Amino acid sequence: MENLDVMVLRTLQGWRAAGRRALLATVVRTWGSSPRPVGSIMALCEDGAVVGSVSGGCIEDDLIDRHTRAYAQAADAAGGAGDSAERRIPSGPPGFVKYGVTADEAHRFGLPCGGTLELLLEYDPDPASLAALIADLEAGRLVQRTVRLADGVVTLQPAAAPQDLVLDARQLTNTFGPEYRMLLIGAGQLAEYLATMALFNGFAVTVCDPREEYRGSWNVPGATVVSDMPDDVVAAFKPDRRTCVVALTHDPKLDDLALLEALSTEAFYVGGIGSRRNNEARRARMIEHFDQTEASLARLRGPIGIYIGSKTPPEIAVSVMAEILAVKNGVTLPRDMEVAQAKNERELAHNDPGALVCGVRSA
């Protein structure tokens, strides 16, 4: 599944290249709770088609109502495209719209209690500029897109690192990056579940396994499968800050060198499957045989996943995907949610259900 931002931009560019009127909405400010973060985008076509999201759905419905209802009514009446200026996508410079200013509006638009958000609406974005942006993203480049508020003129320039959206009195600058990538070492059952979840979360997934018996049964459409040795694949993959590398074979000959190669890159997540004992053994091998140190292995995650008591491959995949998304989104996690403590409390609760109430020991 394609990265959501790229999907929105590609769909918008297609509408505009076909001569259809459309707008691009960007969340530029939020106050209190908000269903979507600053920088989120959606596109709206003149016929009411929507791609992307700026809320849970109610704000999208209001934007459709404001900008396309008259188009649809006029088109139905005339048997073709409508001409009414009322509730049509306007021309001209970008405009701002704010939702959730009052309690009634927050309730009407389904915003969380006290939530308010502001959108910048760009009318009829230039299709050539959109095509250039999409080409950069497809080439793996990080791009700053700046919109001049006075007239909507867009400029693109390379970005060295991901940055938060910046809005001032003159312009809006939003950083767009290529899709996130996941490289999985091993094509077993756990990899199938994890790959499926990653695809639905907008990651491009590549699976590496030189073992033909595992590759032969792989069945996840949309994931790329390669057969070279994992460390060579990691080197060729050139992991960047939007890449995660996960080793799942339990075979040191396949996992160890790939993980070491990944640790020398900017990958935002590098981890290997295995118990705490296996993880300690892996670190000991790397220190003894590959001149590593505790400091050089500090970024290596293992055991991977958030502790949720998972036992089956799909449950383990859920825990691993949750940890990867947390790291991607900058959420600080207590390591494995203090696995030892969590296991002890789970055992205590199992043996004496009244001993723990909501994770707190009862008197």
The CATH number that applies at residue 224 is 3.40.50.720
Residue 285: pLDDT above 50?
yes
The answer as to whether 361 is a domain residue is no
Q: Say whether both 185 and 326 belong to one domain.
A: yes
Q: Say whether both 233 and 321 belong to one domain.
A: yes
Residue 355: pLDDT above 50?
no
Residue 356: pLDDT above 80?
no
CB 248 within 8 A of CB 305: no
More confident residue, 230 or 219: 230
pLDDT tier, 35 (very low <50, low <70, confident <90, very high otherwise): low
Number of domains in the chain: 2
Query: Which of 138-142, 203-207, 347-351 has maximum average pLDDT?
Result: 203-207
Residue 335: pLDDT above 70?
no
pLDDT tier, 2 (very low <50, low <70, confident <90, very high otherwise): low
- Per-residue pLDDT, 84: 43
The stretch 190-202 carries a mean pLDDT of 94
pTM strictly above 0.75: no
- Per-residue pLDDT, 359: 43
> Helix (H, G, I), strand (E, B), or coil: what is residue 200?
helix
The answer as to whether 19 is a domain residue is yes
Give the number of other Cβ atoms within 10 Å of residue 141's Cβ: 15
Q: Say whether both 279 and 220 belong to one domain.
A: yes
CA–CA gap between residue 183 and residue 138 (Å, rounded): 18
Q: Say whether both 69 and 200 belong to one domain.
A: no
> Helix (H, G, I), strand (E, B), or coil: what is residue 18?
coil
Q: Say whether both 123 and 208 belong to one domain.
A: no
Question: Which amino acid belongs to residue 355?
Answer: A
Question: Partners of 27 in the beta sheet?
Answer: 119
The answer as to whether 270 is a domain residue is yes
The answer as to whether 337 is a domain residue is no
The answer as to whether 163 is a domain residue is no
Q: What is the mean pLDDT of the chain?
A: 85
> Helix (H, G, I), strand (E, B), or coil: what is residue 321?
helix
The answer as to whether 363 is a domain residue is no
Q: CA separation (Å) from 314 to 16, 214, 224, 253?
A: 41, 18, 20, 25
The answer as to whether 84 is a domain residue is yes
Boundary-marking domain end, from 113, 133, 153: 133
Q: Say whether both 201 and 283 belong to one domain.
A: yes
pLDDT tier, 350 (very low <50, low <70, confident <90, very high otherwise): low
Q: Which regions of the chain does DSSP assign to beta strands (E)?
A: 22-31, 41-45, 50-52, 95-99, 116-123, 143-148, 154-158, 166-167, 171-176, 181-185, 204-208, 224-226, 243-247, 269-272, 300-301, 356-357, 360-361
Q: Say whether both 129 and 197 belong to one domain.
A: no
pLDDT tens digits, 259-282: 999 999 999 999 999 999 999 999
The answer as to whether 243 is a domain residue is yes
**Three-class DSSP labels, 260-291:** HHHHCCCCCEEEECCCHHHHHHHHHHHHHHCC
Percent of the chain with pLDDT over 70: 80
Q: Which of 25-29, 286-290, 303-307 has the lowest mean pLDDT?
A: 303-307
Six token digits for residue 147: 């919109």
Q: Say whether both 191 and 327 belong to one domain.
A: yes
The stretch 238-244 carries a mean pLDDT of 90
The whole domain housing 322 covers: 181-332
pLDDT tier, 102 (very low <50, low <70, confident <90, very high otherwise): low
Q: Say whether both 197 and 287 belong to one domain.
A: yes
Q: Say whether both 126 and 195 belong to one domain.
A: no
Boundary-marking domain end, from 76, 106, 133: 133
Q: Say whether both 128 and 218 belong to one domain.
A: no
